[in-house]
Amino acid sequence: MAKTLKEKLAGLIPKLREERTAILKGHGDKVISEVSVAQAFGGMRGVKGMICDTSVVEPDKGLIIRGKPILDIQDKLPEEIFWLLITGDLPSADELALFQKELKDRGEVPKYIWKVLKAMPKTSHPMAMLDTAILAMENESAFRKRYNEGMTKQEYWEPALEDAMKIIGTIHTIAAGVYRIKYKKGDLIEPSKKLDWGADYAKMMGLPPRKGQNYEMMRLYLTLHTDHEGGNVSANTCHTVGSALSDPFYAVSAGLNGLAGPLHGLANQECLNWILQTMEKFGGVPTEKQIEDYAWETLNGGKVIPGYGHAVLRVTDPRFVAFNGFGKKYLSNNPVFMTVDRVFNIVPKVLQAHGKAKNPWPNVDAGSGALLYEAGIKEFEYYTVLFSVSRSMGMLSQLVLNRALGTAITRPKSVSTDWIKGQIAG
């Protein structure tokens, strides 16, 4: 008989605990990283100081989830990726069906959430609406309830998983509601009993299925964005907040606030903006020379070219490759996609000549916006919400594992500029 996710984890966790204890007991003093002055001032880039087992980002390969390169699993459902992230294996067909049912069983959004969202100012950013809804839903937290009742440390992961499943079971419905409320798209659309997570999200937003093309786009989008190891702003923030034993609603809401930043999740709206500005300036799909000129104009104006560069990656992001593959299949004659593809031929050369960005290649955001736009989602500021729905899976899988393994409260040591000056002086 198929196991539930909780049963599967209950079988895995004792071994993981033993492994962590043995590593710490036998090798706790081994040094794994040093920190330079530049790293201390530079966002701790490259400092190895936290553990994340769900995925790694190899500078020369991109995202690898539990040993599987993202391009090898790009055809999976996001639900399967969540199972993979948290357990290390893909689910069997029976396990997947049971897990999808468990999510649907937790799919009811409390009525007060809709009241909160409808009471927010019309000018609220959709990310502020999503974050507020997740935070307001903290009222439902099983973790907080069990903590107050006095659960043991060994039990922390169980209500953390319950909260994680409640968030994943509802976040797509909430996000679709944010879309319909914010952009006056009409009444809310109820979740379906049958559709998978991504297709249901697209349907609840009110996107036309277009013979399944829009559902396939949404599936791909959600599958590709689930996780990007532990140090990025949203994952790291969720990790830190969760480490204080703030429950998963607090932790995910905090992580989403980080995702709202223009250098992180908000970049995908800026990216499409840049593409459309280029098209507007040149009256259609620009020539390569026009793109080159506009790229230099952007750089000389002291701005970044959104969608290019990465803190870790040093190659074309494989997730961009996956989106480009979808574009070539479904949108080969579409002007926005053609511009994205042409920009890809030109901008890396310009950034290399500019000489500042350590990585001149496209990241995930360079291509995704065009697909969303052509699916009928024309409200750019909403794009980060789609990213967030997917990334909740990464944040939550990391959080549940951290509660299972007793990860300590985060508390790196900060030092003052005077202390650094003292070190330099010797």
CA distance 387 to 375: 15
239, 310, 319, 391: residue in contact with ligand CMX (rule CB under 6 A): 310
Q: What is the CB neighbour count within 10 angstroms for residue 238?
A: 32
Under rule CB under 6 A, residue 226 binds ligand CMX: no
Give the binding range for ligand CMX (CB under 6 A) out of 30-38, 60-68, 90-98, 260-268. 260-268
Which of the residues 348 through 367 are near ligand CMX (CB under 6 A)? 356-359, 363, 365
What's the closest the beta carbon of residue 299 comes to ligand CMX, in angstroms?
A: 6
Is 264 catalytic? The answer is: yes
Catalytic residue among 227, 239, 264, 317: 264
157 vs 308, which CB is nearer to ligand CMX? 308
Is 310 catalytic? The answer is: yes
349 vs 356, which CB is nearer to ligand CMX? 356
CA distance 374 to 376: 5
Under rule CB under 6 A, residue 311 binds ligand CMX: yes
In 3D space, the residue among 253, 208, 255, 199 whose CA is nearest the CA of residue 227 turns out to be 255
57 vs 165, which CB is nearer to ligand CMX? 57
How many residues at the interface with ligand CMX, by CB under 6 A?
A: 19
Which of the residues 15 through 44 are near ligand CMX (CB under 6 A)? none
144, 264, 342, 403: residue in contact with ligand CMX (rule CB under 6 A): 264
Name the one residue in this structure whose structure tokens are 């499409």.
Answer: 272
Residue 325 burial by Cβ neighbours in a 10 Å radius (0-12, 13-18, 19+): middle
Give the binding range for ligand CMX (CB under 6 A) out of 144-152, 173-181, 205-213, 263-271. 263-271
What's the closest the beta carbon of residue 336 comes to ligand CMX, in angstroms?
A: 18
What's the closest the beta carbon of residue 425 comes to ligand CMX, in angstroms?
A: 26
What's the closest the beta carbon of residue 305 comes to ligand CMX, in angstroms?
A: 4
Under rule CB under 6 A, residue 101 binds ligand CMX: no
246 vs 316, which CB is nearer to ligand CMX? 316
What's the closest the beta carbon of residue 57 comes to ligand CMX, in angstroms?
A: 9
Which of the residues 123 through 162 are near ligand CMX (CB under 6 A)? none
Under rule CB under 6 A, residue 267 binds ligand CMX: yes
159 vs 307, which CB is nearer to ligand CMX? 307
What's the closest the beta carbon of residue 54 comes to ligand CMX, in angstroms?
A: 15
Phi, psi of 69 (to 5 degrees): -60, 140
191 vs 362, which CB is nearer to ligand CMX? 362
115 vs 356, which CB is nearer to ligand CMX? 356
CA distance 124 to 381: 11
What's the closest the beta carbon of residue 365 comes to ligand CMX, in angstroms?
A: 5
- 306 contacts 271 by C-beta, under 8 angstroms: yes
22, 24, 263, 353: residue in contact with ligand CMX (rule CB under 6 A): 263
Q: Could you tell me which residues come within 8 angstroms of residue 274 by beta carbon, excluding any fewer than 6 positions away?
A: 298, 305, 306, 307
What's the closest the beta carbon of residue 258 comes to ligand CMX, in angstroms?
A: 10
Q: Which residue is nearest to ligand CMX (CB)?
A: 309
Q: Could you tell me which residues come within 8 angstroms of residue 39 by beta carbon, excluding any fewer than 6 positions away?
A: 45, 46, 47
Under rule CB under 6 A, residue 182 binds ligand CMX: no
Active-site residue list: 264, 310, 365
The binding site for ligand CMX (CB under 6 A) comprises 228, 263-264, 267, 299, 304-311, 356-359, 363, 365
